């Protein structure tokens, strides 16, 4: 499968624990995006990278959230001290150079905080 | 920032009839408008997109129209089939802004 892949697909964690998700974009894509999707809503932008540089972060991304893309390839999204409100689907997407090109989404990581 | 509104939230259509989903956006700088289809438990997938230099684009049974003056764009699906049942999201972005702002989605159900 040469699409965007995310790991894990599902994560159940206790409130207060830290979690880390991984995204592997399509190999030739420079842009990598993280979105969050809650039930019945459209994806909400969290942050994006151009190669290894994190160029924008949403106000939704509190200090408990951090994202990295150290070598401009895969990316990780870490949530520290998880809260029940963090329960959502976390979607990763990648696109070729340029903001007006198709973004290809991964299957997402569904996080449940209990 | 950009705000995208989408209507209706649910839509039921008899198989073979047409479906229309409408979106409005607020940022006049937006110039890229994709539509994504998301089936239950699956990733969003692009079905069609349009850029601001074009008023209409068609791909087989799917078409999108854009009215930049009124800041709205619509998805038209003709001759609907059961496999068209899904949630559809509109989105908007501009070249300098990069990120997509999505609507809240329309759950389309095709009645056999």
DSSP line for chain B: ---EEEE-SEEEEETTS-EEEEEEE--TT--EEEEEEE-TTS--EEEEEEETT-SEEEETTEEEEEETTTTEEEEEE-S--GGG-EEEEEEEB-TTT-S-EE---EEEEEE-
B47 to A18, A84, B26, B37: CA distances (angstroms): 36, 33, 23, 6
* Cα separation, B47 vs A101, whole angstroms: 13
Model confidence at A99: pLDDT above 80: no
The model's pLDDT over A24-76, given as tens digits with 9 standing for 90+, comes to 999 989 999 999 999 889 999 999 999 999 998 998 788 999 999 998 899 99
Q: How confident is the model at residue A90 (pLDDT cuts 50, 70, 90)?
A: very high
Q: Which of A16-20, A80-84, B96-100 has the lowest mean pLDDT?
A: B96-100
Residue percentage of chain A with pLDDT more than 90? 76
> Residue A97: its pLDDT value, please?
72
> Residue A61: its pLDDT value, please?
84
Q: Does A91 sit within 8 Å of B44, measured CB to CB? A: yes
Query: Looking at chain B, which residue has its C-alpha nearest residue A38?
Result: B104
Model confidence at B21: pLDDT above 60: yes
Model confidence at B94: pLDDT above 90: no
Q: Is A106 in CB contact (< 8 Å) with chain B?
A: yes
The model's pLDDT over B36-87, given as tens digits with 9 standing for 90+, comes to 999 988 999 999 999 888 899 999 999 999 999 999 999 999 999 999 999 9
Q: How confident is the model at residue A98 (pLDDT cuts 50, 70, 90)?
A: low
* Cα separation, A71 vs A64, whole angstroms: 22
Q: How many CB pairs under 8 A join A and B?
A: 63
Q: Is A25 in CB contact (< 8 Å) with chain B?
A: no
> Residue B52: its pLDDT value, please?
84
> Residue B1: its pLDDT value, please?
80
Chain B CB contacts of A56 under 8 Å are 98-99
Q: Does B100 sit within 8 Å of A43, measured CB to CB? A: yes
Q: How confident is the model at residue B95 (pLDDT cuts 50, 70, 90)?
A: low
């Amino acid at each position: 499968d040469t699409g965007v892949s995310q790991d894990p697909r599902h994560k159940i964690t206790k409130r207060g624990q830290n979690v880390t998700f991984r995204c592997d974009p399509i190999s030739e894509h420079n842009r990598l995006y993280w979105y969050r999707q809650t039930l019945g809503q459209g994806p909400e932008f969290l942050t994006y990278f151009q190669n290894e540089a994190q160029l924008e972060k949403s106000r939704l991304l509190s200090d408990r959230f951090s994202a990295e893309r150290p070598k401009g390839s895969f990316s990780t999204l870490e949530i520290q001290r998880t809260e029940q409100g963090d329960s959502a689907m976390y979607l990763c997407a990648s696109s070729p150079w340029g903001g007006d090109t198709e973004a290809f989404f991964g299957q997402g990581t569904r996080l449940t905080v209990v | 920032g950009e705000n995208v509104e989408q209507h209706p939230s649910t839509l039921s259509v008899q198989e073979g009839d047409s479906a229309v989903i409408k979106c409005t956006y607020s940022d006049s700088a937006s110039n890229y408008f994709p539509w994504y289809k998301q089936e239950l438990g699956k990733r969003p997938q692009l079905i069609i997109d349009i850029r601001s230099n074009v008023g209409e684009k068609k791909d087989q049974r799917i078409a999108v129209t854009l009215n930049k003056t009124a800041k709205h764009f619509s998805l038209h699906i003709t001759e609907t089939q059961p496999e068209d049942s899904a949630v559809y999201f509109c989105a908007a972005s501009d070249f300098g802004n990069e990120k997509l702002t999505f609507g809240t989605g329309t759950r389309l159900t095709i009645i056999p």
